[in-house]
Amino acid sequence: MTTPKILSIIISTLLSSTLLSIFFYFFNQTGKGLNQDGRLYYARSFKVIGLLTLLLPSGLLLMFFMGWYPTDEIFAAIALLVAAGIFAVLALIFCLEVFGVKGHYDQQSISFTTAWSGTKNENWRDIKSLRFNKRMNWYVIQFESGKKIRLSSTLNGHRDVIEFLQQPNMRYRRNLDQ
């Protein structure tokens, strides 16, 4: 295999992954109020994509160790290893997000766990603010304790939480920015 062929494989894999992600983003039912039991979680399709993204670096490493690249070109070997490393890190980050983020809420409180900041348990009466970050496409709920909970718009149940918090009869509604 020549270097241009390896690069074309990498580019086509990137394009395929991007198109697949866009497809699932627009045609998935994530975050659309399908959840009435107070759970916050990523849809199964995101978890499948997470596992599939782990296959890319595995395939690149397989190519390297099996010698399926031009062995006389050092650039091809370096490109394979660098690409495998980058894709492995990105795939691990994505998997930590979709498998490590979950939560539960009820009329009094929310419990939210992420791989990045651990578990946060807060009472709704302690809300300081609620904002939507357009750039990151998530809601930020800040509490009097200073803790923040970021609810991604792709998280199942996020819309139920926001609708719950925006009810006009909520006694702490006055604390919300929206």
Say what the pLDDT of residue 31 is: 52
Say what the pLDDT of residue 56 is: 84
Which strands, in side-by-side order, build the sheet including 138-143? Answer: 127-133, 138-143, 148-152
**Are the beta carbons of 166 and 176 closer than 8 angstroms?**
yes
- Measured from the Cβ of residue 163, the count of other Cβ atoms closer than 10 Å reads 10
Q: Which residues of the chain have pLDDT under 70?
A: 1-2, 23-36, 69-71, 170-178
Verdict on whether the full-model pTM lies above 0.75? no
Say what the pLDDT of residue 106 is: 94
Say what the pLDDT of residue 78 is: 85
Packed helices 3-27 and 74-100: angle between N→C axes, nearest 10 degrees: 20
Q: What is residue 85's DSSP assignment?
A: H
Say what the pLDDT of residue 17 is: 78
- CA dist 145 to 10, 83, 120, 162, Å? 46, 42, 11, 20
Say what the pLDDT of residue 25 is: 66
- Measured from the Cβ of residue 130, the count of other Cβ atoms closer than 10 Å reads 20
- Measured from the Cβ of residue 75, the count of other Cβ atoms closer than 10 Å reads 11
Give CA–CA dist 103/74, Å, rounded: 47
User: Which residues, other chains included, contact 68 with Cβ-Cβ below 8 Å and sequence gap of 6+?
Assistant: 1, 62
